[in-house]
């Protein structure tokens, strides 16, 4: 007797697909069969012949819980993620109060969010300039032992509770994290460059949306990545460039990989689809993010980076803010509005529509960048990110032909704004299955109680290639 049969599932086999029935027992994949006559199961899920991927993963979210729950909380964030076809997210350590940089803070966060999660989740560990200055770096190994998947550092300030690192402090962080064997993810923007040009533009009275992107220029990301690569080469740390926004970044990562360095990167759907001139002119603060949106050339070069492997996977940097107080408050301008946009509900559909359906990426590449590569990189594979027998029965079932448009009002996220509002897509999530249970169904919405999602720890480290 099986727990579940997912019938009529079209699963990827390289760049081809095969129609099969997936048997699930004890929340895990137990086998594949051509016919289900005579096989008993407590429940049958009909995938209706739709493409059925290993559960998609977003390894970069800011769900703001605990502390900033007027922006998002773990229930709204993971509901939005479930509706977007994600089965696992990994939350960042910075956007919460307290921020997460020690075992007590990890335990506090887990306690606050565990009864809210709809899908499975892991945690990034934290290390800041303050940890270096105060002699708190012992927390790095302790967090690694707890099961975090990597460590995040900010070269530019983000939230007051999570101080940035100076260059020498980042070097100390690299040395310490290198000993754990875990990746160190850097927000790669040079502080002095950004700070100087933001102040200069403010003084000149530049108030138009695009000024934000022109002040935090491509060069600021380029030199930050170059410094990160130099530190990785010196310390042996596994460098990961989070939310990489530029084509030049992809080129630098490619060169580092060719040199044999352990350097990886992610980009986000908005850096593949939007350019700053159009989006920031139209949406202003609602398209304000850091690093900023770039150019059409960068969109093109980042797709190319995904194809050639210099960009390893996709993540969202989902970071919603409160419209009335933090994006569009009276008197607020492009410099004072908070930087961040939502993303978990649209990541998979955008990659399906603009990537696979438009022929920019192959099926096997889509599986890698939405699921497998992040799981491998962060030590969650093959429990997550695979359709192996024994893997968690996490599935993202996609109707490849369904046409629709992104509507910023229709979202489970608390953030009812989106610079991708109105984008027409072909391909929509039909069902999201986490450990054998449908958590989201296109017709019924969220179908599990809050608290169904489980904490996933890093198990072991394996390289993507």
Both tokens of residue 391? Answer: 């893997």
Q: Is the distance from CB of 89 to CB of 78 less than 8 angstroms?
A: yes
**Between residues 314 and 425, which has the closer beta carbon with respect to Zn ion?**
314
Distance from first CA to last CA of the chain, Å, rounded? 38
Stretch that binds Zn ion, among 233-241, 316-324, 390-398, 413-421 (CB under 5 A): 316-324
CB of 266 to Zn ion, least distance (A): 10
Residues 6+ apart with CB under 8 A from 96: 64, 65, 66, 67, 68, 109, 161
CB of 289 to Zn ion, least distance (A): 9
The DSSP code for 161 is T
Longest dimension (CA), the chain: 76
CA distances from 155 to 45, 133, 142, 186, 219 (A): 46, 15, 23, 7, 14
> Does residue 345 touch Zn ion according to CB under 5 A?
no
Stretch that binds Zn ion, among 116-124, 169-177, 309-317, 391-399 (CB under 5 A): 309-317
CB of 319 to Zn ion, least distance (A): 6
Beta bridge partners of 91: 61, 123
Report how far residue 192's alpha carbon sits from residue 206's, in angstroms, rounded to the nearest whole number: 19
**Between residues 317 and 399, which has the closer beta carbon with respect to Zn ion?**
317
CB of 188 to Zn ion, least distance (A): 11
CB of 273 to Zn ion, least distance (A): 18
Count of residues that bind Zn ion according to CB under 5 A = 1
**Between residues 58 and 169, which has the closer beta carbon with respect to Zn ion?**
58
The DSSP code for 326 is I
- Could you please report the per-residue DSSP string of 78-144? HHHHHHTTEEEEEE-SSSSSS---SHHHHHHHHHHHTTT-SSEEEE-EE--HHHHHHT-THHHHHHH
**Between residues 58 and 317, which has the closer beta carbon with respect to Zn ion?**
317
Q: Is the distance from CB of 282 to CB of 208 less than 8 angstroms?
A: no
CB of 400 to Zn ion, least distance (A): 30
**Between residues 91 and 317, which has the closer beta carbon with respect to Zn ion?**
317
**Between residues 63 and 201, which has the closer beta carbon with respect to Zn ion?**
63
- By CB under 5 A, the residues from 150 to 189 that bind Zn ion are none
Q: What is the dihedral of CA 341, 347, 350, 356, to 10 degrees?
A: 150
CB of 318 to Zn ion, least distance (A): 8
- The residue with its CB nearest to Zn ion is 317
- By CB under 5 A, the residues from 45 to 74 that bind Zn ion are none
**Between residues 187 and 437, which has the closer beta carbon with respect to Zn ion?**
187
CB of 53 to Zn ion, least distance (A): 24
CB of 268 to Zn ion, least distance (A): 9
- By CB under 5 A, the residues from 72 to 101 that bind Zn ion are none
**Between residues 30 and 92, which has the closer beta carbon with respect to Zn ion?**
92
**Between residues 105 and 317, which has the closer beta carbon with respect to Zn ion?**
317
Stretch that binds Zn ion, among 109-117, 315-323, 440-448, 454-462 (CB under 5 A): 315-323
Q: Which of 189, 317, 392, 394 binds Zn ion (CB under 5 A)?
A: 317
Q: Is the distance from CB of 224 to CB of 188 less than 8 angstroms?
A: yes
Helices (H), 355-418: 363-367, 373-377
For residue 289, which phi and psi values (nearest 5 degrees)? -145, 170
- By CB under 5 A, the residues from 382 to 421 that bind Zn ion are none
Rule CB under 5 A: which residues touch Zn ion? Answer: 317
């Amino acid at each position: 007797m099986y727990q579940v049969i997912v019938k009529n599932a079209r699963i990827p086999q390289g760049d081809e697909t095969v129609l099969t029935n997936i048997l699930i027992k004890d929340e895990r994949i137990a086998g594949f069969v051509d016919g289900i006559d005579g096989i008993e199961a407590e429940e049958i899920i009909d995938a209706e012949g739709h493409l059925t991927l290993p559960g998609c993963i977003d390894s970069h979210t800011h769900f703001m819980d605990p502390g900033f729950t007027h922006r998002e909380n773990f229930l709204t964030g993971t509901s939005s993620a479930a509706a977007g076809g994600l089965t696992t997210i990994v939350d960042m350590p910075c956007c919460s109060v307290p921020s997460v940089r020690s075992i007590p803070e990890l335990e506090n966060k887990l306690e606050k969010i565990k009864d809210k999660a709809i899908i499975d989740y892991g945690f990034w560990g934290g290390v800041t300039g303050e940890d270096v200055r105060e002699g708190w770096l012992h927390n790095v190994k302790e967090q690694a032992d707890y099961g975090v998947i990597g460590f995040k550092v900010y070269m530019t300030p983000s939230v007051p509770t999570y101080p940035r690192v100076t260059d020498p402090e980042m070097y100390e962080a690299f040395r310490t994290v290198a000993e754990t064997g875990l990746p160190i993810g850097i927000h790669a923007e040079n502080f002095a460059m950004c700070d100087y040009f933001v102040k200069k533009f403010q003084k000149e009275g530049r108030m138009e949306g695009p000024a934000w992107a022109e002040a935090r220029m491509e060069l600021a990301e380029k030199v930050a990545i170059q410094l990160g690569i130099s530190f990785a080469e010196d310390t042996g740390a596994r460098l990961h460039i989070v939310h990489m926004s530029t084509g030049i970044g992809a080129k630098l990562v490619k060169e580092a990989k060719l040199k044999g360095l352990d350097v990886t990167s992610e980009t986000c759907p908005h850096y593949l689809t939007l350019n700053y001139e159009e989006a920031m002119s139209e949406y202003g603060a609602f398209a304000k993010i850091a690093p900023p949106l770039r150019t059409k050339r960068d969109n093109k070069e980042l797709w190319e980076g995904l194809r050639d492997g210099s960009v390893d996977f996709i993540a969202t940097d989902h970071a919603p803010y409160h419209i009335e107080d933090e994006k569009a408050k009276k008197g607020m301008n492009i410099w004072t509005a908070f930087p961040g946009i939502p993303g978990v509900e649209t990541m998979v559909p955008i990659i399906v529509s603009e990537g696979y359906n438009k022929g920019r990426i192959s099926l096997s590449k889509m599986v890698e960048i939405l699921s497998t590569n992040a799981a491998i990189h962060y030590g969650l594979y093959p429990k997550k990110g695979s359709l192996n027998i024994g893997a968690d029965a996490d599935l993202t079932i996609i109707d490849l032909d369904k046409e629709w448009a992104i509507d910023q009002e229709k979202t489970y996220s608390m953030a009812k704004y989106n610079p991708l509002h109105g984008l027409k897509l072909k391909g929509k999530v039909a069902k999201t299955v986490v450990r054998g249970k449908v958590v989201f169904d296109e017709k019924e919405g969220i179908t599990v109680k809050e608290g169904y999602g489980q904490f996933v720890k890093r198990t072991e480290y394996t390289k993507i290639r």
